[in-house]
Structure 1
Amino acid sequence: MNSLPFEALACPLDGDPLTQAGGTWRCAAGHSFDIAKQGYVNLLPVQRKRSADPGDSKAMVAARQRFLNAGYYQPIAEAVSEAVLEDRAEGATLACLDAGCGEGYYLRQLANAATDAAPLELIGLDISKWAVLAAAKQGIAGQKSPIGATWVVGSNANLPVQAQALDRLLCMFGFPVVEEFARVLKPGGVWLQVEAGPNHLRELREVIYPTLKPERVSNAPVPEGFTQANTQTLNYSLTLEGKAAIADLLAMTPHLYRATAEGRERAAALEALSVTVDVQLSKLVRNG
């Protein structure tokens, strides 16, 4: 493991660079943001919140943490880590943001994959304070030390990151904001977008919904300012044994709130479920 905290933060109020002094980040205008005792900083101004507690709930974060730590999405993490680390200059430090980091699973896997030949500066950002809190606390109570990373409560719509400060940007099943992603990536920097494919968790969806909607064919153009490098499809099956694992999978997805009460009851009655994991990993390069 070879990772360090990312330091090129920007003030969410005026965009000026932030400097850390002790337990506080400050900009030249005097705006200050305290680092919480758990090790994260909140850079989401109250005037930019759409609700009092935006993003994933505490229960949703806990369910995702249990599910991911069980290794069900390990092949996705390995593919993402490989994509981040490929085509790097030997010995060069890579600054990487996970935009919508959740409880930090993918950054932890990336840190484990890094070597001294590929040092990383990591920042995990999520709009959910519960997600960032869980990410910052990972490993503190266990045998494994927490990874070197900066954990931030913030929004993809207004990334508190200085312009052209990043070499890599991850968006895992999240909501991309093209203009912001283009602003914070260096020319030649890589944006890795992971999205659900047409058959992702199909068996679970068949249980909780009366009928499945036809899959939409995506013909979205390449985002402005980027060049499409490649798209990789990852497809495999996994079997969930026991009600708890099935409940965690449902709870960590938006399907929990979209399903009918009858659909949730059918899922809760299952003792085992085999599901398809079908995701697409798209690699886009920031134009110079």
Structure 2
Amino acid sequence: MQKNNPTVPFSGLACPLDGAALTARDGSWRCEHGHSFDVARQGYVNLLPVQKKRSRDPGDSKDMVAARQRFLAAGHYAPVAAAINKALLADLATDKMAGFLDAGCGEGYYLRQLAVAAQRPDRLALMGLDISKWAVQSAAKQDHHVCWAVGSNANLPVLSGSLDRVLCMFGFPVYSEFARVLRDGGLVVQLDPGSEHLRELREIIYPSLRPARENKSDPPAGFERVATESIRYVCDIRNAGLVQDLLTMTPHLYRANAEGRARAAALTSLSVTIDVGLVTLRKTTQTETEP
């Protein structure tokens, strides 16, 4: 559990059933209409109503989450985290409270790195959201200074106009929801895989690689692009366990055939390219969102 760099409590939670503000009281979050959501013993709240689930256990599995936690803890994505921190903290006033949401937080690595990097973490109100209960459980166990919630980007349980920054990594951006929860001038920092990302791993798993898809050049409605950055480096993994963790934490292994999985399982080391694109979008002041 993280004990350093405490942030302030997040107060912008909204009821996923009616959008009303949620207030923490007696181990639960409650809205004025009587809806109540208990805080789990690990310290997170489930704000994904059963009727809005597409499967019984959506998102990353328990094994994927554990593998990702071990791999990220080894520091192989530290340059990515540093670039994200720089983008999220750019032009952020240090004398005012700022609300942050990691929309698809996984096991919380990037929010923990952000709190360490911030000059004034006591001015940050951090929330991590993921559709995987296993991911959120893992995140909550490691850091009690962040508001962790199970939820969906399609229906963010966050009050409108309450956030300054939204982070979306390798996830499912829902720009209409991002625009709704951001204040005017707020930023979305989005990370997507580049054409060479994990290429060496994919070459081992698949018999052939699909052609790279072109990224859309136009920013989504209600946003303007303010910065783009490409992050590319070679990651040398010399630990067989971490190689297998990388395989387990990505969806590629589960898409491969039996032969591809067998080749991957035989690896004891791997040099793999990390290739990601970082895009910063600003919510324009004239944005109008649907209620």
TM-score, normalised relative to structure 2:
0.94
Match of 1:182 in 2: 179
The SS at the match of 2:155 is coil
What SS is found at the alignment partner of 1:3? coil
Q: How many residues align?
A: 281
Q: Is the 8 A contact 1:91 1:118 kept in 2?
A: no
Does 2:40 align with 1:36? yes
Distance across 2 between alignment mates of 1:90 and 1:7: 19
SS in 2 for 1:157: helix
Q: Which residue of 2 aligns with 1:158?
A: 155
Deviations 1:42-84 (A, max 9, x none): 0000000011111100000000000001101011111111111
**Map of 2:146 onto structure 1:** 149
Question: 2:137, 2:157 → 1: CA distance?
Answer: 18
Partner of 1:281: 278
**1:62 aligns to 2:59 (yes or no):** no
Alignment of 1:192-231 (within 5 A): 192-231=189-228
Q: What does residue 95 of structure 2 align with?
A: 91
Contact kept, 8 Å, 2:38 with 2:45, in 1: the verdict is: yes
Amino acid at match of 2:99: A
Q: Deviations over 1:125-160 (max 9, x none)?
A: 00000000000001xxxxxxx351100000000000
Given that 1:232 and 1:281 are in contact with CA atoms closer than 8 Å, whether structure 2 keeps it comes out as: yes
Query: Which 5+ residue runs of structure 1 have no aligned equivalent?
Result: 139-145
3-state SS in 1 of match to 2:40: coil
Q: Where does residue 120 of structure 1 map in the other structure?
A: 124
Match of 1:45 among 42, 49, 54: 49
2:259 aligns to what? 262
> 169, 172, 177: which is aligned to 2:169?
172
Write out the 4+ residue segments of structure 1 that deviate beyond 4 Å after TM superposition. Answer: none
C-alpha separation in 2, matches of 1:219 and 1:63: 31
Q: How far apart, CA to CA, are the structure 1 residues paired with 2:28 and 2:83?
A: 36
Cα distance per residue 1:185-240 (max 9 Å; x no partner): 10000000000000000000010010111112223421000000011000111111
Asked whether the 8 Å contact 1:206–1:212 carries over to 2, the reply is: yes
Check if 1:240 corresponds to 2:237. Answer: yes
Q: Percent identity?
A: 60
Opposite residue 18 of structure 2, the aligned amino acid is D
State the TM-score, normalizing by the size of structure 1: 0.95
Q: CA deviation at 1:257?
A: 1.2
List aligned pairs for 1:101-140, cutoff 5 A.
101-116=105-120, 119-138=123-142
Q: Which amino acid aligns with 2:211?
A: P
Shift in alpha-carbon separation, 1:117–1:54, aligned structure 2, 3 A: closer
- What corresponds to 2:25 in structure 1? 21
Q: SS at the partner of 2:160?
A: coil
With 87-96 and 68-77 compared, the bigger mean Cα shift is at 87-96
Residue identity in the other structure for 1:225? G
